[in-house]
Chain A
Amino acid sequence: MKERLYSTHIALLVFMIQTGVAALSLSRKAAVYFGTNGWLSILILGCVAAINIVLISVVNRLGNGMSVFEIMEKSIPRFIVIPIYLLLAAYLAAIGCLVGKQYIHIFQLIAFPTASPLMLQGCFDVLVLFLVIKGIYNISKAATVFSFLILWMVFLLFAFSNDFEFERMTPFVFKGGRDMLEGAVDMFAAFVGYELILFVMPYADRSKKWMRSVQIGNLMTTLTYFSFVFISFGFFSLGQLKIMIYPLLDMLAYIQLPFVERLENILFSFLLFTVVVTSTMYTWSAGEAVHHVFPKANRNIMALFIVFITFLLSILPDTLYKLELWLKILSYGEAAFSFAFPIFLILLLLIQGRMGVKNRV
């Protein structure tokens, strides 16, 4: 019997793809763009993502679990589809590797300033490669195990109860911010990742429940983000939040246990697991796209090839500033992609449905 992805796996997988390094700067962005009580924006963005997932589930329902590649190949000639696939693969792989690179850059900032970033990136890519060649079922199982290493960290938020003050939040809603729309797109980068579920569709359990579990995954992400952004608005003052580059990291650095201080170094290491899953899933999706260009090629070798190319690509942005600029541009594209692609697929499916009816008539 062929393996299937079950709903719990999918919920946790979606949660793990979505969460990542973008979370570190989320509170600052909420403060800069939305101003007072910017934490409310997290709920709005979570709803936007949920609506997007509804679009994806429409694709799933109309296409009856067909893969996105099958849907496209049904209506579009192959010579047009192939460049689209290659572009898609390049794009997804680029996001995957830059997310990893960003993690390594920040890790260097706080823990290993003298270690070679190439070596760290190499180690990271080997991890990603190992996961990618194991296939989607094992990736999701690993994501399940990894998620338990991350989820407990939500309890750390209780550590801030002493310095939390509601008065600091002010009664004003979204005052003192700027460029809210641009900011919303920028912040949305922390939510994207669920659109990769489009590529997972043919591997999933055929029941209707699994789309619900994508929603549950997104809900988990939204609540996690919400809880710590909310806490950070009462813990930091607004002016302070606006100048902290990674407020979450500063919050972790503030935690003190009777026997140990400066916990952020070890806690930040736990984020590796979610970043590995994010990076892996992007690389895996890129691999899926390439596979449809070269259906006969060996998947493992192809994965090796993609990871190698992304490794070379990740050498290019050598400063954190440059890297974040690249990621910002890519994430704008990703936000557009996560909406436009399902809509495009729905249109294709509708046309195919109508043509199918006509043919039958």
Chain B
Amino acid sequence: MSKRGLKLFFVCVVLLGSVLQMTGCNKSQRILEKLAIDHTIGYDLDDEQKLSVTAAIINQGEGGSEVKQELITAEADSSKEAKIKLSRQTSRNIVSGQLRNTMYSMDVASQGIRKLIENLVRDPSISPRVKITVVNGSVQELLSSKFPNHPNTSQYVDHLLEKNWKNQNIPQVNIYQFTRDYLDDGVDPVAPIVRKKGDNVIVDGLALFKDDKYVGKLSPDYNMLFAMSRGKYRQGEIYIKLDQNDSDGAVMLGTVSSDKKFKVWRKRSGGFVVELFLEVKGDIMEYTGNVLLSNHKDIITIEHGISKYISNKMEDMVDIMKDKRADNVGLGKQVRNSISYKEWKNINWDELYPEVTFRCTVNTKIKSTGEILEIPVPSRE
């Protein structure tokens, strides 16, 4: 009896499961061809400083083969109001479950994007992996531009960001990560900047945020250094110009990996010193200087050169951030973790931050110098 009973029970579970599935076929039936799949949402400010929302919508053409991008724009106070207004402009149902990217013009970002992000987090149909991107220029203009090699602009930008993130040229910044850093004390969020350049879109560096407001830009040269300061860096590439007397030329390091460690000291005069220890490893892929790579001593000279370059550049980067009063590397987090809770709550980190001394010590190790030693200069005797 019990075995039969259990069997019956499982049959019922399966049946009820199918009934539950069928509830989806009720009135809310969704046919792909009749949906307007929201792929990218862009926010601009118009001349009257009102929010203008642009949605790049992907339409699956009849028959299933053709994918077209449609662009609609509406003026609104919020993204959801915009959705209602936008839906009046399209014959299809707008759905946001496949949203991949949200783009903010610098004007919008400098006014603060907290409310816009909050509404994205609130909507359960929107994935926490939706990207956050700042656009240098008008978002609408970028999305409506036609790029000859890339018929679908919104997808092109999305893939561009994805690829650059995978190569660690830019940090991955999505709704989850932005909210996480925004709500953590002792670290401020960042976002990649893109810009139209001729027939292409390029990554134009990093947007520095102070809380939820865009305050400044970091040039693309710092992308890799920023990645090193924030986490483990794997499989990257750096191009370094050595400008020392004994080892001039340029080095390109491949398969770069780095590990970081922070240490915090107190200054005698009050305030803090934060030191970042970086261990960088890589292989020489290209070298244009005149030091002999076969000589171990010279390799050490190059290693020192690279270390010095990275540490100087890293300190420059933090100086830029300090100027903008944005703690994007997360020095506050390091200081917080080194003092007592009471002390952390008593200090005003925003005021203290620009006074913090930042030092970077780099230890570079060159693992190999490639497959050859050096092609000798032809002798003319």
Contact = CB atoms under 8 A, between A and B. Distances in A.
7 contacts: A130-B12, A138-B5, A142-B9, A165-B231, A167-B333, A172-B340, A238-B183
Given A110-B124, A130-B9, 16 more contacts: A3-B2, A112-B24, A119-B23, A127-B16, A130-B12, A134-B9, A137-B2, A138-B5, A167-B333, A167-B337, A168-B184, A168-B333, A170-B336, A240-B179, A240-B183, A254-B176
A64 B292 CA distance: 87
Interface of B: 2, 5-6, 8-9, 12-13, 16, 19-20, 23-24, 26-28, 97, 124, 127-129, 176-177, 179-181, 183-185, 231, 330, 333-334, 336-337, 340-341
Contact of A253 (B26, B128, B183): B128
B16 A126 contact: yes
B18 to A, nearest CB: 11
A141 B10 CA distance: 12
B177 A114 contact: no
Contact of B129 (A36, A170, A254): A254
Interface string A116-145: 100110010011001100100110011000
Interface residues of A, number: 41
Contact of B128 (A114, A119, A130, A254): A254
Nearest to B174: A254
A165 B177 CA distance: 12
A130 B5 CA distance: 9
Most buried by A among B20, B27, B124, B231: B124
A236 B2 CA distance: 46
A4 interface: no
A261 B129 contact: yes
Contacts of B185: 239
Contacts of B97: 262
Contacts of A261: 127, 129
Contacts of A115: 23-24, 26
A237 B182 CA distance: 9
A114 B180 contact: no
A113 to B, nearest CB: 8
A181 B50 CA distance: 47
B184 A127 contact: no
Nearest to B262: A167
Interface string A68-98: 0000000000000000000000000000000
A262 B183 CA distance: 24
Contacts of B180: 236-237, 240
Contacts of A116: 23
For the complex of A and B, 3 pairs with smallest distance between CB atoms: A239-B183, A237-B184, A175-B341
A238 B6 contact: no
Contacts of B6: 134, 138, 141-142
A297 to B, nearest CB: 21
A123 B177 CA distance: 38
Contacts of B177: 163
A3 B2 CA distance: 11
Among A3, A130, A237, A240, the one with the most B-chain Cβ atoms within 10 Å of its Cβ is: A237
B19 A114 contact: no
B21 to A, nearest CB: 10
A152 to B, nearest CB: 18
A253 B6 CA distance: 33
A237 B183 contact: yes
A119 B24 CA distance: 12
A250 interface: yes
B295 to A, nearest CB: 40
Contacts of B184: 168, 237-240
